[in-house]
Copies of this chain bind each other. A is one copy, B any other.
């Protein structure tokens, strides 16, 4: 391979991914181009599957484990169905980096044998196929993280005993829990962009509208799960990388606070940067599936295996208390209060997102919850701080890994190259700035206790995840809607609300703009191009409020779905 160009190496790897798919599952004819075939979800992909395969793959993770842990479905049958659908998904939108279906089916066979022997499942995820973003090391397969220079190496190192043998801590725990691992999903090289683009798989398209992006950096997860090629998987989020793909693909996804999910032994970008930490979070088709995955991992006590994980088991008392608040609301006397942030003072969202917010607001109001306006400290300051954090090393880490193969950097990457590195004092000062911003925001949140009427500050903030529904390539110009959450280290759950609809979401002429980028993004809106793109929103909670936010997201997601179905019927 020595002497090969990055292009040749990338092409070779791309072909090898395709070749890892069993011949029987490969398309014989090229798929129609996106211009002719935008939406490959639903009936389109179903045509290649048996009714049984459709039944299995369109069951959520909770539904699958209910059947696999009780012996109603075998792990092998579930795994084969999911592998088949994942194979189709990849051929439609380029969402996989690694395909190891044989190993998965072998694992599933062992799980079935265990169940037959012991009459009980090996763990709460027994027989559940789980997809993984290509940052997690799985024995027998590679981790490229989208870098051509990582092909045939361990994180860029040619000689390393860990290569193809080492497993990340999360992977070890998932195996303990009975999950079946079968693929790794695409990411942008560097991870630092909201689109999934690299010199291996090229671009991961949005299954609902293949003119659009599946989001990033966990874009492969988003696309794969949207096509039901996975019931749920794990991504990572340093600036929105779990949430953008969730919102852009009509999924639920959580960005937990630092210290809950075990990052130990996973590959990362700019590893060791210690001001805004990347965190692991699951993405899935239902909120209850997120809870299943999150809770299952905590049951492994990752705090004894990962020094950065906090000893915080799943707090059932908080879940119960939250369910109590919801129940009270159903009796008409709401004790829940939400804030709505229509825009962040920098960019007004496109019509589909503005409509999504109104939908949620209506839902909340109909449920007689208190709804207030969110008027937080400057989000521009949050962006300024986060941008300096991400660029603190002057792009040196990313430049190094791209340099291994001399491949070019995608223009979408938000980290500049060749900047000056910050020194220790500058980094310390930046960290103090960050803490002061966190304090400011925290104090603002506290003040809402005076107007909610519940005696508490707001229980969550509803806000856009991005100014647009699933984005057009090269047009993700404002990541501030997700990044402020990372800076604050808050919990945020994305939930699906609606889809862009060219007939409803007509462009609104505007004479005044919040900022230059506001004008740019306003002008980017094209109802025809965006038509059909999923539009999700964030439910943002405070730091380490995962139990509360997952419980609220399940409730809200359900209510919003009822509301939108109702509207659909009426129209």
Contact = CB atoms under 8 A, between A and B. Distances in A.
Interface of A: 259, 264, 270-275, 303-308, 310-312, 392-394, 396-397, 421-425, 427-432, 435, 438-439, 441-442, 446, 488-489, 542-545
A237 B291 CA distance: 37
A393 B274 contact: no
16 contacts: A264-B439, A270-B428, A272-B427, A272-B430, A273-B428, A304-B446, A307-B435, A308-B438, A310-B543, A311-B543, A312-B312, A392-B424, A393-B423, A393-B428, A394-B424, A397-B428
A79 B305 CA distance: 48
Contacts of A545: 311
Given A264-B439, A431-B272, A439-B264, A544 B425 contact: no
A490 to B, nearest CB: 10
A393 B425 contact: yes
A557 B428 CA distance: 39
Contact of A425 (B307, B421, B429, B441): B421
A399 to B, nearest CB: 11
A322 to B, nearest CB: 14
B308 A310 contact: no
A272 B306 CA distance: 24
A261 to B, nearest CB: 15
A408 to B, nearest CB: 22
Output the residue of A274, A421, A431 with the most chain B CB within 10 A: A274
B446 A425 contact: no
A307 B423 contact: no
A272 B429 contact: yes
Contact of A423 (B270, B421, B432, B435): B421
A271 B446 contact: no
A307 B445 CA distance: 12
A-B residue pairs, 8 tightest by C-beta:
A272-B428, A307-B438, A393-B424, A272-B431, A272-B432, A421-B423, A392-B424, A421-B424
Interface of A is mostly: loop
Given A303-B544, A424-B427, 15 more contacts: A259-B310, A271-B428, A272-B428, A272-B430, A272-B432, A274-B274, A304-B442, A308-B438, A311-B543, A311-B545, A393-B423, A396-B425, A422-B424, A423-B423, A423-B424
Nearest to A435: B307
Given A428-B270, A432-B272, A303 B422 contact: no
Nearest to A430: B272
Contacts of A274: 274-275, 427-428, 431
Nearest to A488: B307
A57 to B, nearest CB: 37
A311 to B, nearest CB: 5
Nearest to A423: B421
Output the residue of A275, A439, A542 with the most chain B CB within 10 A: A439
A349 to B, nearest CB: 27
A420 to B, nearest CB: 9
Contact of A442 (B272, B307, B542, B544): B307
A428 B308 CA distance: 15
A473 to B, nearest CB: 31
A439 B265 CA distance: 10
Nearest to A263: B435
B442 A425 contact: no
A542 B310 CA distance: 11
A442 B304 CA distance: 7
A208 to B, nearest CB: 37
A274 B544 CA distance: 20
Contacts of A422: 423-424
A538 to B, nearest CB: 19
Contacts of A421: 423-425
Contacts of A441: 307
Contacts of A392: 424
A435 B308 contact: yes
Nearest to A169: B439
Nearest to A264: B439
A422 B274 CA distance: 14
A327 B421 CA distance: 56
A400 to B, nearest CB: 9
B307 A543 contact: yes
Contacts of A394: 424
B311 A544 contact: yes
A273 B310 CA distance: 21
Contacts of A435: 272, 307-308
